[in-house]
Amino acid sequence: MNRSHVGVTRCGSAEFRWGERTYIMGVINVTPDSFSGDGLGYDVETAVALGKRFAVEGADVIDIGGESTRPNAHPVSVGEELRRVIPVIERLAREVPVPLSIDTYKWEVAREALSSGAVMINDIWGLRHDHRLAELAAEKGVPIVLMSNQRDGTCADIIPEVVASLRRSVSLAVDLGVSWENTIVDPGVGFGKTLEQNLEIIRRLDELQCLDRPVIIGTSRKSLIGMVLDLPADQRLEGTAATLAISIARGADMVRIHDVAGMARVCRMSDAIMRGRCQRETA
């Protein structure tokens, strides 16, 4: 699985050398209404403790979000989102060595988050909501994750649509000054896709390699697992593990997960098989 042509992405003091191993993004939802049942609301201390635990368990980056992205969730104001995420980012930037990502599609939130210590932007709309996020990423020299989101329409043939939408997002980002190495793509599992389409994305994930960009995938605890296994969000660990292992076999470069310790082991085992990379667990 040679991905060296994709380049190296620098994120704060860290380097993502794509193809060498699967990188791990730990999720912290500073919201009261997360789909996954892990929303922490305004509980800064618990969020900071979770970030510290993720760093020990093997997270390579920690993604902090202040607005639920579950289907039909109510949007929150810029001010409300800032009140949720900034205190957590400020604390974690001082107290953990792991780089921080801000999960937002709002330019104002991203700007304040980067000023407070975040070093990556994760945009679920792939610049379709506000292209100024690319300008901000270019100005600060930080990576940006660009997602393919179909929530504002329908799509009959999902893989060509995902590839086309991600190609547009990457092209726009580069046109607005983001370096090629600082663009990362996400097919957007769960965002406006049917169950069958979500499963197809995982099964055909290798087709995204035509973009020559690192691929991040987020299946953790999502509804496709609940639909297949008929389980609530807090019982989807094994289903998540299956989706991650297959995604890594199909070329995923980074996984976005809620359960870092267990899923880090899934990543290491998958890497040993797919990349010939054996690493003993020391934690």
Strand 8-11 and strand 183-186: the pairing is unpaired
Helix-, strand-, coil-residue percentages of the chain, each rounded to 5: 45, 15, 40
* DSSP state, residue 256: E
Q: What is the rounded CA–CA span in Å between residue 173 and residue 23?
A: 23
Strand partners, 103: 65, 122
Cα 240–160–172 angle (5° rounding)? 95
Smallest Cα–Cα separation from 23: which of 268, 236, 249, 282? Answer: 268
| Cβ atoms of 64 and 118 closer than 8 Å | yes
Q: Provide the CB-side half-sphere exposure for 13 (13 A, CA).
A: 6
Catalytic residues, which ones?
222, 256
Q: Please state, in angstroms and rounded to a whole number, the distance separating the CA atoms of residues 82 and 143.
A: 21
- How many CA atoms does the CB half-sphere of 81 hold within 13 Å? 23
